[in-house]
Amino acid sequence: MTTARKPNPSVAAMVEIMEAQKAAFIAQGPTSYQERIKELERIETAIGQRVDEIVEAMVQDFGSRSRHEILIAEIHTTLSMVHYTKKHLKKWMKPRKRSVGWLYMPGKAKVYMEPLGVVGVISPWNYPFYLAMVPTLSALAAGNRVMLKPSVFTPRTSQCLKDLLGALFPPDKVSVVFSGPGVGSAFSRLPFDHICFTGSTNVGKQVMAAAAENLTPVTLELGGKSPAIVGQDFDVQAAADRIAHGKFFNAGQTCIAPDYALVPKNKVNQFVEAFENAIRTSYPTLENNPDFTSIITTRHFDRLHHAIKDAEEKGAKVIRVNPANEEIDPAAKKIAPTIVLNGTDDMILLQDEIFGPILPVVPYNTLDEAIAYVNARPKPLALYYFSNKDRSVQKVLKMTQAGGTCINNTLLHVAQDDLPFGGVGFSGMGSYHGPEGFDAFSNKRGVFFQGSPCSTRMIRAPYSAGFEKALRFMIDKL
């Protein structure tokens, strides 16, 4: 005799929220421009009132995380996107005129931007506020309702999100769903009108497969091994400083962090020395340094240690930069900034996205060789190139593919509100931020308005020999 499996109450609650949001969307219709602006303003005010609470939640979730980095990368960037969206929303919402072929005149064609309905947002742990709020903001600006599932690894920040959004919106407008057994996969299988997922490539595949059951379109922001190429002409010290900043911001737990550096072979030693100096300047101590962030969990901490050990056992030269020579307590979950030389393709660090404060340095002889190295691997989420020669810059842009690119710096392209952010190939699909965010969560409805007299009466049956002759003439002229 088999026992019937009891329904998961968490999953049942999600289904109930989904049904309520869909019903409310149908009953109430799209929100007006004025309503959307008011929603954005309420979010803006609420974030400003809860800054300290949000910061403290993230510090506690990580064990140690730079408060200044939180203010820069989580609070300021989110508020900047709110401000930018408010400024441009009216323009984005307007019907967009399109041309009409002369055969169909008189007539007009327009594209109407309409909300999709209910959007599911699955956000990660590494930037748990920013990467939850920005797609939510874009979805709301496009007139949708939102169900947000934040990461289980940052429970305090998730609770902040739930409290903040719960105080501003009824559940049939915005709901925050906490993870539990079976909740993650069940969330992706709900019949959303769109899903935005930020996370690993492997989980992204699972989300896409689950969404396919309902033919739900997806925006996938994944990761990969984002290269930093140092051009032969560029100042090595400046490149090392900027790559170090991008690599060790949030202890490398950034989807667009430089994953490895391609450096001219004749400048590797100079680069390593400059990179070490940059580390010592920014992080003179580690364990009790509030500017140097902890690894999020013990599992990720152990994963990174295993990858370093794997490289050492396979012949890599590993340089741990610990300026104060501290005995770091493993409970602090901090890994000393690490440089890896003589890496080979069979090493974990050269195969998998690192997501930690470790930088393999790969020498190259020519720019073509560096480009070939990048192109032999899956398309990255970000690519960084350091050169003051426009011809070289254009060559790299033309001969490589990446979700986004920053020239002569790292990370900063994602902070530009007017640039799309997204991946390509294994690093993701679709993009959001700015107008692309509004478009991602909108249905572009094409509408044709027939004027008078109706032109199609000239192209209806019965067709004459004269009509065919005229039609063939028009085809020949195209």
Classified as helix, coil or strand, 290 is coil
By three-state DSSP, how is residue 226 classified? coil
For the beta sheet containing 107-115, the strands, ordered from the edge strand earlier in sequence to the opposite edge, are: 96-98, 107-115, 442-450
Q: Which of 74, 160, 196, 255 is catalytic?
A: 255
Count of all residues that appear for the chain in the document = 478
Q: Is residue 119 classed as helix, strand or coil in its secondary structure?
A: strand
- Given the residues 39, 69, 74, 221, select the one marked as catalytic: 221
Q: How far apart are CA 51 and CA 97, in angstroms?
A: 42
Tokens of 163: 């409290």
Query: From CA 167, how far away is CA 106, in angstroms rounded?
Result: 51
CB 142 within 8 A of CB 441: yes
Residue in the structure block whose two tokens are 């989420």? 381
Minimal CA–CA distance to 152: which of 130, 174, 126, 125? 125
Spatial separation of the C-alpha atoms in residues 116 and 221, rounded to whole Å: 20
> Is 196 a catalytic site residue?
no
CA dist., res. 57 & res. 39, Å (int): 24
Question: Does the N-terminal peptide bond of residue 150 adopt cis geometry, omega within 30 degrees of 0?
Answer: no
Query: What are 94's two structure tokens?
Result: 């307007």
Determine the Cα–Cα distance for residues 124 and 154; give it in Å rounded to an integer: 9
Q: Is residue 276 among the annotated active site residues?
A: no
**Is 129 within 8 Å of 72 (Cβ atoms)?**
no
End-to-end Cα spacing for the chain:
72
Burial (0-12, 13-18, 19+ Cβ within 10 Å), 259: buried
**How far apart, in Å, are the Cα atoms of 241 and each of 91, 151, 353, 460?**
40, 32, 22, 70
**Are 314 and 349 within 8 A, CB to CB?**
no
Q: Provide the H-helix boundaries in 283-424.
A: 298-313, 348-351, 367-375, 390-399
Residue corresponding to tokens 């506020």: 129
Q: Is residue 124 classed as helix, strand or coil in its secondary structure?
A: coil
Enumerate the active-site residues.
221, 255
